[in-house]
A = this chain, B = another copy of it.
Amino acid sequence: MSPTSYRVDALQYCNWSEKIFRQMRDGSVDAVHVTIAYHENFRETVANIEQWNEYFEQFPHLIFHGITGDDVRLARDTNRTAIFYGFQNPSPIEDDIRLVEILHSLGVRFMQLSYNNQSMLATGCYEAEDPGITRMGREVIEEMNRVGLVVDMSHSAERSTLEAIQISARPIVITHANPAFWAPALRNKSNTVLEALAQTGGMMGFSLYPHHLKDKGACTLQSFCEMVAECAGLMGVDNIGLGSDLCQDQPDSVVEWMRVGRWTKKIDFGEGSANNAGFPPMPDWFQGNHHFGNVEQGLREVGFTAEDTAKVMGNNWLRFFDQNFGPED
């Protein structure tokens, strides 16, 4: 008998609602890593956790706060979705390394060392120069390793990413991006990064955000799944999963907050452009959580076995969660 096939999405930032939580159930999604901070400071991040506590009180039959890998299993057993917290920027720890443990105690499980810009820890993918991991960055990586807060380099620049892979004593992740060989974009990753990630036991989550896709919203399911298969060849089938970057039902003001935060008074278009400034339209085969079945079918159709499909759909992420969300044994 084949093992249970879990469905885990390693990145979403939707305009959360009962509709979306119900779509998670329609798509049999056992766990979602949700972004709870882009540019928020510590207190603002706590306010976002308060908002999630309100959702958990309102919709206990649909969602609950995930803390460990076992919560993914509990979600499956109770027909709910486990929600795991993460940051796309280190802004919530401000200048205080001890906030790493505080935020881990509040259930945060992933933190990007930088978003698109230079942070106090690492460089973002839109900077002209990448001086690598900073002095504080090395300290924070060590502290994250100690408590079990996973280093995520999805938005970081190449040198910083490669250094983080080397400096971190525990495997790191890119929760949401694609290979640059398939869709050239500053946010997508070189084969050098993908290989270094896999060699250290790290995980790559493939994004369904149109700016990361070949042909953007017109990308075909077959092309996406063939890319996943090519990466399985490059990285091994145990180090890949999904990180859809789904931003369902968000108003365009939110993509502006992501890109601009409080760091400029001007508009920055990020992956967009002046005449394409908002959220781009998603592929018709992936409009939301209810469409994860399409991806599973697409993977089977390009030749993944049932077991390998289960790995990509979530079993790899579950193994990673089991090993990396607490202090090392």
Contact = CB atoms under 8 A, between A and B. Distances in A.
Nearest to A49: B102
A46 B41 CA distance: 14
Interface stretch (A75-83, A93-101, A220-228): A93-101
A59 interface: no
A105 B107 contact: yes
Contacts of A106: 102, 105-106
A106 B99 CA distance: 12
A301 interface: no
A50 B107 contact: no
A54 interface: yes
Given A42-B43, A43-B42, A43-B43, A53 B107 contact: no
Contact-size category for A? 10 to 19
A50 B98 contact: yes
A106 B107 CA distance: 10
Contacts of A50: 96, 98-99, 101-102
A96 to B, nearest CB: 7
Nearest to A46: B102
Contact of A53 (B43, B46, B98): B98
A99 B106 CA distance: 12
B98 A54 contact: yes
A54 B100 CA distance: 12
Contacts of A102: 46, 49-50, 53, 106
A215 B71 CA distance: 56
Interface in A28-77: 42-43, 46, 49-50, 53-54
Nearest to A102: B46
11 contacts: A42-B43, A43-B43, A46-B99, A50-B96, A50-B101, A53-B98, A53-B101, A54-B98, A105-B105, A105-B107, A106-B106
Given A54-B98, A105-B107, 6 more contacts: A42-B46, A43-B43, A46-B99, A50-B101, A50-B102, A105-B105
